[in-house]
Chains A and B, each alone.
Chain A
């Protein structure tokens, strides 16, 4: 199930199940989006990206969906594994922010139950 912690929402899933992590972005002019995975004590690791002229993109075991109408982004992880446990952040590239700055969402902690 999903719960909201002090600062970070948490999603708990059973190993082997599919995970869906959601993100609402704020700027309708944002044209590029990235999902990052961050393990404890480490820097963010690139997972997958999508440009605003697309609504779906697939990678290995991951799919990103973009709904520009409601400014919503989701990350789907198929057959979730214990190694997927981490905090996941969406990031948006806002035009005019300068130098390709990224603005990060609040993050979701994914816990995989063996």
Chain B
């Protein structure tokens, strides 16, 4: 089955530092990956759409200079939280859809296991 691996699963960083989160599709290719943010007891909120070989598309209210996204290959997207502050502490989740299957019809998105970011 399709597997999306996200790393790290947990990270604690100091205010002002940057943190990079990786999202990999292990057994399929994904032209597009998605980054979500989830606060406790709340739903997933889409932050941005990561596009292989081009710029990411950010949702309204999400600072692109704050959350840098790079999608350098068909199996890897990275999210870098720059100059992190305590209010950036959250659960970040990526997802991807299988290129080949998605080209024919709508298919489910597969999610990574999430990254718990704590900024102290």
Contacts and interface: CB of A to CB of B under 8 A. Distances in A.
A100 B43 contact: no
B100 interface: no
A41 B93 contact: no
A96 B118 CA distance: 35
Q: Is the interface of B mostly helix, strand, loop or mixed?
A: strand
A8 B51 contact: no
A100 B49 CA distance: 10
Interface residues of A, number: 28
Contacts, number: 66
A31 interface: yes
Interface of A: 5-8, 31-32, 34, 36, 41-46, 49, 51, 89, 93, 98-107
A44 B77 CA distance: 18
Given A8-B41, A89-B44, A43 B114 contact: yes
A46 to B, nearest CB: 5
Given A89-B43, A100-B106, A106-B42, 15 more contacts: A7-B41, A34-B109, A41-B91, A41-B114, A43-B6, A45-B111, A93-B106, A98-B57, A99-B49, A99-B57, A100-B107, A101-B46, A102-B46, A102-B95, A102-B109
Q: Is the interface of A mostly helix, strand, loop or mixed?
A: loop
**5 tightest CB-CB pairs across the interface, nearest first?**
A43-B111, A32-B106, A7-B41, A43-B114, A99-B32
Contacts of A106: 42-43
Contacts of A100: 32, 97, 102, 106-107, 109
